Amino acid sequence: MKILFAFLLIIFLSFSGYHLSFRKFGIPLFARTFYLTGLEFLFIGLLLGPQFLNILDVNTCGVLAPVTALLLGWIGMLFGFQFEISKLRRFPRIDFIAGLLEGFLTLVVVFCGIYFILPFILEISAHMRIVMSVMLASAAACTAQTGLAMLSARQIGRNQSIVQILRYLSSIDGLVAMLVLTPVFVFLPRHSGMAATRFFFEYHILIAVISFAGMLILYNLFLVYRREQSELNLIIIGMVIFISGFSSVMNFSPLLSNFFVGVCLVNLTGEKEKIYTTLISIEKPVYLLLLVFLGSAWYLENFWAIAIAAGYCLLRLLGKMIGGLSISFLGAKMQAYPPTLGLGLIGQGGLPFAVLFDFQQGFQSEVTDAVVGIALISIIFSDVMSSNLVGRLLKKGV
């Protein structure tokens, strides 16, 4: 009974709450950040979690694991649909390279910092040290347009070129995170006792590749003929459910598997516009549901977690500044942008939440929960600061 009540409650909260979130009310800028990003649902999840009301306790969330896998799969599929090759070719190649370079350098800076600092903070195995460093670095590489969404039309109009490159970079650097995360789930299995080389050279990887190719062929056959939107909705929902469930059984990431399927489908099928319409139609409720589940497992232990989160946030800021500065070395066109371009790339958005939740579900432990909790605080810091930093960047770039 409790499980049914918890499920209906979070569904009600997500579908009713998104009508209030993501809107510019006449409220202070700090509070507006929460409404525009849905961050208040993290705290709703925290309230429903074991530390307070205990509605979403460990057992309840365990039973609802198929739902969480579906959420991750839906986000992965939707993100994969952003990378249609024909549309990417409309932009200059140098912009795409700049996005990859900025995201990669941010990831490298954050990875190196976390990898060398972690042993002084936590007692973890070498296996988990690499996994945590990659996961946190991948989350740090992602950028959203949080700060840009709070700017006035006048500010944007005077800085069209800078705003355009910031929007493009924020859509590309998430690709770096997805590509770097893949080897973690392939070479570093969730059970640290399993040797990575054994995992790779045994039949597991072969089964995964064959299954992935089989699913692509199967769903492309479904999509050969034009279908009504209602039929297509059933196919897409079934596709995400099946891929997410299969990934969970294979101890792989539902987020990554659906991401790669999404990339392939958007470049292979002629029904991509209808599929995207289906995926985007419930993007906000899915995102808010994810925040509720993530918040329910959020443990706020002591002040030191806030201090460490601030350090992680500063490390990410350093990475973004280096990444933004580096693109000026790609040619005369990029030199026209200010060297402090990284200030406009501080907001993290929704994809890091999916990365962290996928990490938390895949590598469950008390240490994982603590690390994810610290990362959540850091994301809040980043999103709150982003609008101010973007404003400073555009003021200098005028």
Q: Output the pTM of the full model.
A: 0.91
Q: What is d(CA 340, CA 332) in angstroms, rounded to the nearest whole number?
A: 16
CA nearest to 311, candidates 177, 121, 170, 43? 121
Average pLDDT, the chain: 84
Residue 276 has pLDDT above 80, yes or no: yes
Token representation of residue 319: 């990475």
- Confidence label for 196 from pLDDT (cuts 50, 70 and 90): very low
How much is the CA Rg of the chain, to the nearest whole Å? 21
Amino acid at position 299, single letter: Y
Residue 130 has pLDDT above 50, yes or no: yes
Average pLDDT over residues 110-125: 91
**pLDDT score for 379:** 92
Q: Which of 7-21, 180-194, 317-331 has the lowest mean pLDDT?
A: 180-194
Q: What is the pLDDT of residues 326-356, one digit of tens each?
A: 998 888 888 889 999 999 899 888 899 999 9
Given a contact cutoff of 8 angstroms between Cβ atoms, the answer to whether 16 and 294 are in contact is no
**pLDDT score for 136:** 95
Percent pLDDT > 70 in the chain is 86
Q: What is the pLDDT of residues 199-257, one digit of tens each?
A: 444 566 677 777 778 878 888 777 877 788 888 888 889 889 988 988 888 778 899 99
Q: How far is CA 29 from the centre of its chain?
A: 24
Residue showing tokens 């319409």: 277
Q: What angle do CA 371, 366, 59 make, to 5 degrees?
A: 120
